Structure 1
Amino acid sequence: MFSVLSRPQCAVRPLALALSLLTIAAHAEVTQLEDVVVTATREVTPIAKAPISIGKINQQTLQDIKPTFIGQVVNRVPGVVMTDLGNEQHNMSIRQPMTYAAVYQYLEDGIPIRPVGIFNHNALYEINLPGADGIEVVRGPASSLYGSNAVGGAINFTTAAPPAGPLFTLGAQFSNEGYRRADIAAGNTWGDTGIRLSGYQAARRDSWQDHNEMDKTGLTLRGDHWLNESLLWKSTLTYSKLDTEMPGSLNATDFNTRPGFSYNTFTYREVDALRATTGIEGELNAGGKTSATVYYRDNTTNQLPSYLIFNTGPKTASGRTTDNSFTSLGATAFHRQQWDALKLTVGGLIETSPQDAREQNLSIVRDPVSGKYLSYTKGSIRRDYSVDLSNQAVYGDASYALGGGWGINAGLRYDRVVYDFTNYLKPSPTTGGASQEQSFSNASPKAGLTWQAAPDLFFYSGYSVGFTPPEVGSLFSSAITPNLKPATFDQFELGLRSQPIPGLKLDAVVYRLDGEDELVNFTTQPGKSEPRNAGKTRHEGVELGLNWTANSAWSMNLAGQYAKHIYREYKPSPTLNFSGNDIPAAPTWQGQVELVYRPIEALRLGFETSYLGKYWMDESNKVEYGGHTLVNLRAQYRLKQFTLWASVNNLLDKHYSEMSASSYKGQGPRNPDAQDTYNPGAPRTFLVGASWAFGDGGRDGSRDGKGAQQ
């Protein structure tokens, strides 16, 4: 069924070796708390019994790792690669190549942080991680519950509830590469009402890379009021502000000889993102759970991006500014009812999100010797338009316990997305298409079978469908609206979760995800691309997670994957045929392992290594990035209210690229300096931090989880 199984020895050898090494834990006496998730079914579910592929980063892991970048923790989930493009900018790989495409859904407490049609591959810089108590990662299509874009997966950040008692914490950290940061958290609960404020302020100055300064503010305010013992009124406010320079990528020679160099002197990105929600969740009737939430978004992104600068001569280049803003007003609700063995959930969403966008052409002066872009003058207005986006959805989800440990589940969601586009300029190849309205609709089903074969052995299998409509920028960027179709994806997966010996948790899954009309960015020259429907694609692989706690001193976390991503059919032009080729930026092997030693309860020492295998940089599969292995060290010591920590990232000072691409098409001579680009990774970096806490930060006012979670 899955062609990846034609090479069982590749996947089985590492697994057999890992299991043989871990059998020393067979007689260990270990107490482990069971993680629960809410993203899999929109209700609290033990992760060991979730009917789909899902991983969780819990609050303890966030406290142990002290991440300055979300990828430092989500990459611990099997099958996840979040690349670090600098200053919280990123792209993602979950059952997809490392891609900028709109195939992921990013959520906060189950609500998407951006509207459909305005995807941003950097969107997680709009998350305030200190305001979260956990991260849940659904791998594979989740469109039946969360709508369009939830194709490769969905990442849900759950906000931290107010503490049960007074809480106040202060933290600070510094690195030798110019990064400094201050964190604060405060909160309390008075009777039935609690509040929690969490935030941070970060800055980067004088780093290893030219033109790379940054300022970032993140803030989350959450207020809870219990209307009765089972009904919660919850409100949240999240604000993020990012002001960063953009050093951009390098050609092959500069990447190899001066990776800290930047051609840019004035590129920037400025982001202001505000989200507010309020709603009730809990039990309104016996055997039922209800949730109803109203939400608001206000988002502005102004930039002069490095990736939109193109050389036009030895001393000249062109570029443009891009200013985008949108507001959203929406409401979402669901009700779940339990009748003995049957559980049924029905829900819906309605949202409107008007967007304004404007682009201005730039004439740029370039130094022909160094390649630096020195200055610019503003020219004509290139784009000036607005779009009224609307999204309506209804969905249902049911599960039934058959007995004997067997269960079935099924779901269906219907989405309708409407783009009402107004062009304030005369239509042309650069100013965009004529004013018009376009709509897309899709039904996304899922079905699955589960089996609790033993108390510590759970199997799940399922079929699910995901879809993503064309983005606003893809549809209306030229005079003639391209004939772009919504991309659809069909997935089959088979997985198991087990605790074969005390202290060892195993999570393994094999999947196949087939795409039709998948939207890809066809690279015409370095930094310049256009949208195309790729015909047919295939994504398949094996994901493996091992979590081993031998005793109070030793533990280990391993996350790895073997994956293949290919074009089944892709002919971008009459002379180019990439059918059968690997999709670029799709490493076959990837993994991360951390070994933790706690000689005493107050001290944690972690040794981590991550591996990213080689991959093709181009569609013709002629240009290859060789992959890399990185080593990181962490130490943390707690003394009553004080916590001290230190880390060394890239301990071996590896020269590597976070993201590599090539515009070479496999025809004619190749010029690496003109066609290949690399985003250099950071060198060896030392970081130290300290925090002080007053009060009870280990408990919250959730009343033992009685309220509904989303």
Structure 2
Amino acid sequence: MLVPATASIGIRSASRTLRTPTWAAPRAPPPDSTSPTRGRSVAASAETARRMNARSRTVVNRTTARIPSDNVFMLELAALAVLSTSATALEEVVVTARRREERLVDVATSVSRRTPGELGRLDLTHHAESLNRVPGVFLQRGSGQESLLAIRSPVLTGAGACGAFLFLEDGFPLRPTGFCNVNELFETNTTQAAAIEVMRGPGSVVHGANAVHGVINVLTPSAADLAGMRLNAVFGADDFKSLGFALGDGRHAVHGLVRHDGGFRDDSEVTELKFNLAHDRELAGGELRWRAAATRLEQDTAGFIRGFDSYRDPVLRRSNPNPEAFRDAESLRMSTTWNRSDCANCDDEARLILRRSSMTFLQHFLLGKPLEKNAQTSAALGLARGRSLTREGWSWRAGVDVEWADTSLLEIQDGPTLEGSAFARSIRPAGRHYDYTVEVASIGGNASIEYRSDAWLWRTAVRADAIAYSYDNLMRDGNTAEDGIPCPGGCLYSRPADRNDSFSRLTPRVEVIRHVSKSQHVYAVLAEGFRPPEITELYRLQRNQSAVDLGAERMRSAEFGWRFAFGESPSPSLRGTLAVFRARKSDVILRDANGFNVIGGRTRHEGIEYELGWQALPRLRIDLGGTLARHRYDFSRAIEGGETIAAGLDIDTAPPQIHRLALSVQPHERIDLELDTRRVSAYYADAANLRQHPAQTALGARGRWRLTIDLALTLEVDNLTDRLHADRADFAQGDWRYFPARRRSAYLGLDWRSR
């Protein structure tokens, strides 16, 4: 079962147990300072963690468009805090929010960590299964492995949507700066990951560009964690089948899976292959981690179904208006990380990654249905050094990151446009629309200074980034057809002439943490995040726009948080986190009514997030998590598609409330069961706030039966009540569009392990 970060005991990191350098520690351990294994054996720690395992899911009341001022939950929480007569220390949790392992109570930001727990996996069919259990996250599934993401934000779409989030694997970005893809999480093996960490709000100074609304870090298992042999097979609805394996000797390991989903809609099957290598060893007074990952996706894509409430039609929801659509993608990564371990007063690190990815897909959502091919080859190097200062309790850390990438994009249409009006067809010619390469070079430096005492932690940090693009157009400049023939009034696709662009940004961060007691910790943080324009926003222009002058989007954020624990362990206890945030984003890049890429948008974001875990009985656990937030436009302007944005209106596809509830019970020492529910409130489907998609509640159940010490049977049932839901709904081009959700589906699995 998934373990909320506020409820984990003795959790090890993906690579090794927590090591707190002497230079970073106070003179004496703070009241809740506990080694992950101090005072108990590793086996005992694992058993305690097993008994506390649980996933975060959701329940809630019907939403309104703004945050309630008299929330009953807040009153109950305050009452619990006042009435509690005894407290227990917050359990030790290790996170990597600043690219190195540290206790959660020493991190001044909202971080949720999800681990496989008793069910043995983070997700079965899609990464949405794990991410949608995190407060502040709303991941809408598309067709197959596609998705659209929100982290303390509305669901973002368009060329730059992915640029607002930073996707990592073991702390390394999956893609180079400027070349993200909104679906790139399918290039990671989340199913067999050791953990997934979600950092909400602007990233720390080690992250740099793109960590605007949040960071998702997929942590791979250590070689020691994969010692022995494991096999896993799952079969389920719609011809779903998956086979996973892992093999290791403690220093070397290999794991992977092959997965096929026949899809519940016509012509929507997906086949995935994921393969990972790991090697861990001691080298030159430090710990060396070497990782390699390869993925391949072959997907037949199903498009939107159209018409109001069409997702409720049992026949229409299984149809596919775009049977010709597909997406093929490959990725390859190789990385190594070295951390010094022979110096108690040092924090030295060296990191290197080599990446390659390519993708080909049919843009079935565009008139003419052009084909896109994109690819990138890139490398990144990072160095960091930390030391204590002469004054006790003070320390500093500094680092530098450099990155190089060679990227390319080709868009080509193999025949005339047959859809739309005569004018729409005339401006979308056959042949190449875009064909260019862009070389990317970036450098970023960061520095921080902190002070630690028994009760306080102060940290001030700053990062400077410089990013350069060198664009080379491989076809005719301008907006003619490929052969130079002009379209009436100009073709839709416009190609700027060769050019160079550069962007730079300074991002500060100030954090303070107060260790009130061994069971209560409060923090405050002021931070800024930014993203440079994506390559496609600069060089994939339309209509008569021949060049752009775009700057970096930036967001300033303030957050206050409280981590707490009440009750005497191991008797019934309550643990949780509460965070309040407010953010302002400016220089938002958008496409105006003329089809031009421009800057000048502004948005506002504020809300409350909570995460609670209550061990009601020795074999019964209740977990709650949720978000109450509002995301609004802070400017007025006519935009593409005939819509008009007005300041003060809610941004479309931004549910003001999302809540989760999970009940985990162990009726027998060999049986673990979980029942969870998630409710997403109604949200606006258009910028004018004239149309709403209704609230939805989904119920799921999971179970694991350990037949022997090495063999277990698993069962997962999604959409237990067989409701007709939509994974995504929006109103565009004068009509409703939906991605229907799968109806009740069951999956039966068998896990075997040789020790």
Q: Same fold (TM over 0.5)?
A: yes
Match of 2:38 in 1: none
Between the aligned partners of 1:554 and 1:27, the Cα distance in structure 2 is 21
Give the alignment partner of residue 752 of structure 2, picking from 692, 696, 703: 692
Give the alignment partner of residue 562 of structure 2, picking from 496, 508, 514: 496
The alignment covers a number of residue pairs equal to: 653
2:294 matched to 1:236? no
> What is the Cα deviation at residue 676 of structure 1?
2.2
Give the alignment partner of residue 681 of structure 2, picking from 586, 600, 613: 613
Q: Secondary structure at the match of 2:185?
A: helix
2:411 matched to 1:359? yes
Match of 1:670 in 2: none
> What is the Cα deviation at residue 587 of structure 1?
0.5
Between the aligned partners of 1:575 and 1:91, the Cα distance in structure 2 is 21
Q: What is the correspondence of 1:613-632 to structure 2 with a 5 Å cutoff?
A: 613-632=681-700
Between the aligned partners of 1:366 and 1:595, the Cα distance in structure 2 is 53
Cα contact 1:35–1:47 (8 A) shared by 2: yes
Give the alignment partner of residue 400 of structure 1, picking from 431, 451, 456: 451
2:165 matched to 1:104? yes
Between the aligned partners of 2:730 and 2:600, the Cα distance in structure 1 is 18
Residue identity in the other structure for 2:382: T
CA-based RMSD: 2.8
> What is the Cα deviation at residue 99 of structure 1?
1.6
Between the aligned partners of 1:55 and 1:75, the Cα distance in structure 2 is 12
Residue identity in the other structure for 1:397: S
2:281 matched to 1:215? no
Cα contact 1:326–1:353 (8 A) shared by 2: yes
Q: What does the per-residue CA deviation read over 1:480-516, in whole Å, with 9 as the maximum and x for residues that have no partner?
A: 1233221110000000100022432110000001000
Match of 2:256 in 1: 199
Cα contact 1:231–1:280 (8 A) shared by 2: yes
Residue identity in the other structure for 2:410: R
Match of 2:588 in 1: 518
Cα contact 2:644–2:687 (8 A) shared by 1: no
Structure 2 residue ranges without an equivalent (≥5): 1-62, 421-427, 480-492
Overall identity of the aligned pairs, in %? 23
Which segment is superposed worse, 250-259 or 511-520?
Answer: 250-259
Cα contact 1:346–1:395 (8 A) shared by 2: yes
Structure 1 residue ranges without an equivalent (≥5): 311-317, 369-376, 665-673, 696-710
Task: Compute the TM-score of the two structures, normalised by the length of structure 1.
Answer: 0.87
> What is the Cα deviation at residue 183 of structure 1?
0.4
Match of 2:602 in 1: 536
Between the aligned partners of 2:526 and 2:286, the Cα distance in structure 1 is 34
Between the aligned partners of 2:269 and 2:558, the Cα distance in structure 1 is 44
Give the alignment partner of residue 268 of structure 1, picking from 326, 337, 342: 326
Match of 1:69 in 2: 126
2:735 matched to 1:675? yes
Q: Secondary structure at the match of 2:259?
A: strand
Q: What does the per-residue CA deviation read over 1:24-51, in whole Å, with 9 as the maximum and x for residues that have no partner?
A: 99999x9995221012x33322213321
Residue identity in the other structure for 1:185: A
C-alpha distance 452-259 of structure 1, shift in aligned 2 (>3 A)? same
Give the alignment partner of residue 251 of structure 1, picking from 306, 316, 319: 306
Match of 1:14 in 2: 73
Residue identity in the other structure for 1:461: A
Cα contact 2:464–2:505 (8 A) shared by 1: yes
Q: What is the correspondence of 1:577-592 to structure 2 with a 5 Å cutoff?
A: 577-592=645-660
Between the aligned partners of 1:139 and 1:182, the Cα distance in structure 2 is 33
Residue identity in the other structure for 2:646: F
Give the alignment partner of residue 546 of structure 1, picking from 609, 612, 631: 612
Cα contact 1:103–1:149 (8 A) shared by 2: yes
Q: Secondary structure at the match of 2:637?
A: coil
Give the alignment partner of residue 596 of structure 1, picking from 649, 661, 664: 664
Cα contact 1:534–1:567 (8 A) shared by 2: no
Q: Secondary structure at the match of 1:584?
A: coil
Q: Secondary structure at the match of 1:289?
A: coil
Cα contact 1:143–1:149 (8 A) shared by 2: no
Match of 2:150 in 1: 93
Cα contact 1:247–1:306 (8 A) shared by 2: no
2:451 matched to 1:383? no
Q: Secondary structure at the match of 1:307?
A: coil
Q: Secondary structure at the match of 1:48?
A: helix
Match of 2:381 in 1: 331
> What is the Cα deviation at residue 434 of structure 1?
0.8
More strand by share: 1
2:87 matched to 1:35? no
Q: What is the correspondence of 1:40-189 to structure 2 with a 5 Å cutoff?
A: 41-60=98-117, 63=120, 66-100=123-157, 101=161, 102-142=163-203, 144-163=205-224, 166-189=227-250
Between the aligned partners of 1:56 and 1:218, the Cα distance in structure 2 is 22
Cα contact 2:169–2:219 (8 A) shared by 1: yes
Q: What does the per-residue CA deviation read over 1:172-204, in whole Å, with 9 as the maximum and x for residues that have no partner?
A: 101122211000011013xxxx01111110012
Between the aligned partners of 1:20 and 1:631, the Cα distance in structure 2 is 30
Between the aligned partners of 2:374 and 2:198, the Cα distance in structure 1 is 28
> What is the Cα deviation at residue 530 of structure 1?
6.6
Match of 2:283 in 1: 227
Between the aligned partners of 1:273 and 1:76, the Cα distance in structure 2 is 27
C-alpha distance 531-178 of structure 1, shift in aligned 2 (>3 A)? farther
